[in-house]
Structure 1
């Protein structure tokens, strides 16, 4: 396996391009539980260029019916990125002050249920700015969201 750098600028450029519209190459999951993690995965793919084709536990999208739960599900994306030992992007949990653009933040409620996966697109003056679908946003301050907890996923690299 070859280790590749995660192209953070490419992930953010994709986030900017598609923040307020939908890429027709992907199904819009807005009315099927939300499109946030689908959008986050698209941004991750733009920054990595590599999907993990492993059935069930990989991370890929070939069509609406041929995709993994990790492409569109908040907890499944977390599980994939934190546990990925194979092909594709991989991450570790990080503190708020350790994140970079192109990383993912997941928002949760008091019970520990995480429900939203914005992409970090800016950092300035102690504020984290995100892009997201399902309440489309670009350069929205993270502090403007109402959430009980946040977990930050710092993308360490990509394996090919």
Structure 2
């Protein structure tokens, strides 16, 4: 509420819908995983906006005083973590500390995701967990991207916005889906705006997504890793996707990118600008904690700290 007052918001309508995802018993407690789909309509400087968000939390119910009470609430996933394991799963319950700028820790060669097992790829001491996919890219498509690199392309910000609105709360099955997929989602949005890939075939360079090749899914770190995407956008590449860092969120347009470092170190989260509030400040769409038209500064996130650092990237209109 304090954040709303600081932004001079006038709430008009608020709605929260709960969905029970799973229940588990351990150590005399009951753990219930829930999904909260929240909607807020508000007015800012006479402009009406709507924010949507899908959060997942774990409730710990304990028997006290002759009845069950909610003893603890834990986010299942934040913008810097993977989903939390069950308390009796044998894994450490430290999801809130697992960052995606240097994300999922450990040396497991396989990781459980939903009802399927998924491969874990090592990324410069980082690990990315792939959930599942039916990617569509192939050699013919890669060749067309190489051709785009040789001619000027106009960045279509309206197509970016449309893609971000369509998939803000879902995973496009044509792409690989990560447990922490904020940067992959942003890359997909940028690509939907006709930004040409910088296809190098090397994970550590360029900005590209190839899809299935044999038994592997191929993509660059800059496509799927928050720190990799921020470094690429700040590199002023002259091939394929190009961008420049700007000083203020007020310098951003639809289709531009905000990168977040919660502790002031490597970047751990990425969002895409899709709208503006009545003060002219950016509203963003994002994944991991699926969000639509969320205020850009993320001070309402479990991941946010006083040391949070932001970078703002304006995507070039012509590439």
What TM-score comes out, normalization by structure 2 length? 0.46
Determine whether 1:137 maps to 2:288.
no
Determine whether 1:29 maps to 2:189.
no
Determine whether 1:98 maps to 2:286.
no
Q: Which has the higher strand share?
A: 2
Determine whether 1:40 maps to 2:186.
yes
Aligned residues: 155
Determine whether 1:68 maps to 2:230.
no
* Number of the residue aligned with 2:101: none
Distance 2:155 2:227 in 1: 21
Distance 1:76 1:158 in 2: 22
**1:103 offset after TM fit, Å?**
0.4
1:104-125, Cα deviation, whole Å (9 max, x unpaired): 1011123322110011111122
Q: Indicate if the aligned counterparts of 1:3 and 1:157 stay in contact, CA closer than 8 A.
A: no
Determine whether 1:51 maps to 2:172.
no
Give the RMSD, CA atoms, in angstroms.
Answer: 1.6
| Structure 1 residue runs of 4 or more that deviate by more than 4 Å after TM superposition | none
* Number of the residue aligned with 2:152: 3
Q: Indicate if the aligned counterparts of 1:119 and 1:131 stay in contact, CA closer than 8 A.
A: yes
Q: Which has the larger radius of gyration?
A: 2
What TM-score comes out, normalization by structure 1 length? 0.89
1:103-158, Cα deviation, whole Å (9 max, x unpaired): 01011123322110011111122332110110001111124443512111110135
> More displaced, 20-29 or 102-111?
102-111
